């Protein structure tokens, strides 16, 4: 059964006896009893139709009652990403809500089993595409834990700078898209304007705006370019001048406050029961931030606050994200001063790749001088370099779990190694996927218009949910 966008149905069957729907249903149940993947024969062979499983039962339950079942999404201007919401309504009140995901599935976790440990970075950076550098860092930290190595100090500080820049850009997208979905289009244009400044800086530092693959097991792919410290300080100065505009545009705006205050309420006990982390948990009053409670990458050496609120609503989550941008800028200021000269990759030649990378004149690949140096050292070093690039390095057998604080909450990587050059298993504790469980608790009993505000305050990234 296929539902078109924004179809509203009361469960009444308008098809007569002998209709195409009857014949299709009969064919589906006789040829394949699986209710979730009925099949039919076509000129191209068997075609399977994946359905919502109990969708027909939901419709039958509402038949003859003053209830309607509505599809919101999966592609709709007011929904957050490629997310489908099935809402049961009585008038404009939501009596039941469920989320349907899977529209972006890429099989990234499974694909990692067929790539070496370094190549895996190019996959994980594409899951939560608004926080690629957090995924790269968590994955590489897990690999380093299996290897028993630690990235050099300069690489650790650079990772902190990159992650906090990424946190700023992610929160700006949350504010911008949330404003767009609620009709505050000026908030959307302002948020994306500032995000462009972050992406320009990330492109200068790493070479790419998104999906960087810049953080590697053992350190970084290469050092920051010349003038990086100055460019970062200029960005901080720019953000300090523009952030007060958000308080004028949104925070102090009575329409914005009234639209969010008291909406999407989720207290701290519900957060703990559902495993909710990140700004949603902190908006309920619990100052749980892995940068403080379980520091990594030297976060224990930085001074910053963990903002909290007791309101536990959409407006509190908005305020927290704005304040977290200020705290990220505070961390970056300290990190730039700690960016002392030094290596950015471990010295172990059996792990370090790419080793002593130098970019060619066209901005792509190794320079010719570097290639000549590798080929001119010895045949053994050339063979070693070739095997390191093509096969990768072996990782001792074992399993680890490494969590970090992403913009959406606890992002954890569970890696299993059988001692080979490729992961045996990679599973990600993705905060968007877990936090999306809170949607029914926030929405049921409220108005259908408040569903949009609640989902926007969760800020799910469907690339992470459908990994």
Give me the domain span that covers residue 328: 108-347+393-450+453-465
Output the pLDDT for position 382: 73
Output the pLDDT for position 332: 96
461 closest CA partner among 180, 126, 190: 126
Residue 220 lies in a domain: yes
Output the pLDDT for position 52: 57
C-alpha span between 346 and 352 (Å, rounded): 6
Most confident of 25-39, 54-68, 71-85, 215-229: 215-229
Torsion of CA 186, 187, 189, 194, to 10 degrees: 140
Most confident of 51-55, 174-178, 181-185, 232-236: 232-236
Torsion of CA 143, 148, 152, 155, to 10 degrees: 10
Q: Is the pLDDT of residue 62 over 70?
A: no
- Rounded to an integer, the average pLDDT of 292-300 is 93
**Do 4 and 146 fall within a single domain?**
no
In this predicted model, what pLDDT tens digit does every residue of 196-220 receive, in sequence order? Answer: 999 999 999 998 889 988 999 999 9
Output the pLDDT for position 181: 86
φ/ψ bin of 12: left (φ > 0), alpha (ψ from -120 to 50), beta (otherwise): beta
**Do 405 and 315 fall within a single domain?**
yes
Output the pLDDT for position 294: 92
**Do 34 and 162 fall within a single domain?**
no
pTM: 0.83
Residue 243 lies in a domain: yes
Is the Cα dihedral 280, 286, 287, 292 positive or negative? negative
**Do 261 and 332 fall within a single domain?**
yes
**Do 184 and 46 fall within a single domain?**
no
Output the pLDDT for position 48: 66
**Do 115 and 263 fall within a single domain?**
yes
Output the pLDDT for position 388: 80
**Do 121 and 54 fall within a single domain?**
no
Output the pLDDT for position 78: 66
Residue 242 lies in a domain: yes
- Rounded to an integer, the average pLDDT of 106-116 is 90
Output the pLDDT for position 384: 75
* CATH code: domain of residue 247: 1.10.645.10
Structure token digits, residue 456? 């926007």
pLDDT classification of 353: cutoffs 50, 70, 90: confident
- Rounded to an integer, the average pLDDT of 110-133 is 92
- On average, the pLDDT of the chain sits at 84
Worst-scoring range by mean pLDDT, 28-37, 179-188, 189-198, 381-390? 28-37
Q: Is the pLDDT of residue 14 over 50?
A: no
C-alpha span between 450 and 83 (Å, rounded): 16
Output the pLDDT for position 274: 93
**Do 41 and 148 fall within a single domain?**
no
With a CB cutoff of 8 Å and minimum separation 6, the contacts of 320 are 279, 282, 283, 307, 308, 309
Q: Is the pLDDT of residue 31 over 70?
A: no
Residue 384 lies in a domain: no
Output the pLDDT for position 82: 84
**Do 56 and 142 fall within a single domain?**
no
- Rounded to an integer, the average pLDDT of 69-75 is 80
Output the pLDDT for position 2: 38
pLDDT classification of 36: cutoffs 50, 70, 90: low
C-alpha span between 291 and 94 (Å, rounded): 37
C-alpha span between 358 and 375 (Å, rounded): 15
Query: What is the total count of domains within the chain?
Result: 2
Output the pLDDT for position 8: 36
**Do 291 and 203 fall within a single domain?**
yes
**Do 160 and 49 fall within a single domain?**
no
C-alpha span between 343 and 158 (Å, rounded): 11
Q: Is the pLDDT of residue 172 over 90?
A: yes
Residue 422 lies in a domain: yes
- Rounded to an integer, the average pLDDT of 67-72 is 83
C-alpha span between 278 and 405 (Å, rounded): 7
C-alpha span between 9 and 23 (Å, rounded): 21
Output the pLDDT for position 30: 45
Q: Is the pLDDT of residue 54 over 80?
A: no
- Rounded to an integer, the average pLDDT of 273-279 is 93
**Do 129 and 273 fall within a single domain?**
yes
Q: Is the pLDDT of residue 239 over 80?
A: yes
Residue percentage of the chain with pLDDT more than 70: 83
Residue 183 lies in a domain: yes
Q: Is the pLDDT of residue 195 over 90?
A: yes
Residue 328 lies in a domain: yes
Residue 376 lies in a domain: no
Output the pLDDT for position 55: 59
């Amino acid at each position: 059964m296929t539902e078109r966008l924004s179809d509203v149905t009361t469960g009444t069957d308008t098809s007569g006896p002998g209709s195409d729907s009857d014949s299709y249903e009969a064919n589906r149940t006789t040829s394949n009893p699986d209710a979730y993947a009925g099949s039919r024969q076509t000129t191209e062979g068997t075609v399977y139709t994946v359905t919502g499983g109990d969708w027909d039962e939901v419709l039958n339950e509402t038949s003859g009652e003053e209830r309607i079942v509505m599809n919101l999404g999966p592609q709709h201007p007011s929904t957050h990403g490629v997310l489908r919401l099935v809402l049961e309504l009585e008038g404009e009140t939501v009596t039941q809500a469920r989320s349907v995901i899977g529209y972006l599935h890429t099989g990234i976790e499974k694909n990692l089993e067929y790539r070496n440990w370094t190549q895996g970075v190019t996959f994980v950076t594409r899951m939560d595409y608004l926080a690629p550098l957090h995924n790269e860092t968590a994955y590489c930290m897990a690999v380093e834990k299996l290897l028993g190595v630690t990235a050099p100090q300069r690489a650790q500080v650079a990772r902190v700078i990159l992650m906090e820049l990424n946190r700023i850009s992610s929160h700006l997208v949350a504010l911008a898209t949330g404003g767009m979905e609620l009709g505050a289009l000026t908030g959307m244009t302002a948020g994306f304007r500032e995000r462009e400044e972050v992406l320009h800086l990330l492109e200068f530092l790493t070479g790419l705006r998104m999906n960087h693959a810049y953080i590697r097991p053992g350190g970084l792919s290469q050092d920051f370019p010349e003038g990086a410290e100055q460019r970062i300080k200029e960005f901080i100065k720019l953000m300090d001048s523009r952030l007060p505009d958000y308080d004028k545009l949104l925070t102090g705006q009575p329409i914005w406050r009234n639209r969010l205050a008291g909406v999407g309420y989720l207290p701290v006990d519900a957060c703990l029961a559902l495993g909710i982390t990140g700004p949603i948990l902190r908006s309920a009053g619990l100052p749980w931030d892995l940068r403080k409670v379980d520091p990594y990458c030297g976060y224990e050496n930085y001074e910053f606050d963990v903002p909290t609120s007791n309101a536990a609503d959409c407006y509190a989550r908005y305020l927290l994200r704005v304040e977290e941008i200020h705290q990220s800028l505070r961390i970056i200021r300290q990190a730039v001063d700690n960016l002392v000269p030094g290596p950015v990759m471990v010295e172990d030649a059996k792990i370090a790749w790419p080793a002593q990378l130098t970019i060619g004149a066209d901005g792509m690949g190794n320079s010719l001088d570097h290639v000549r140096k590798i080929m001119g050292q010895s045949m053994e070093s050339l063979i070693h370099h070739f095997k390191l690039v093509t096969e990768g390095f072996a990782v001792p057998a074992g399993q680890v779990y490494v969590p970090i604080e992403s913009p959406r909450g606890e992002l954890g990587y569970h890696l299993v190694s059988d001692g080979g050059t490729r992961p045996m298993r990679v599973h990600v504790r993705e905060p968007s996927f877990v936090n999306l469980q809170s949607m029914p608790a926030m929405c049921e009993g409220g108005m259908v218009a408040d569903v949009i505000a609640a989902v926007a305050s969760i800020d799910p990234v469907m690339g992470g949910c459908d990994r």
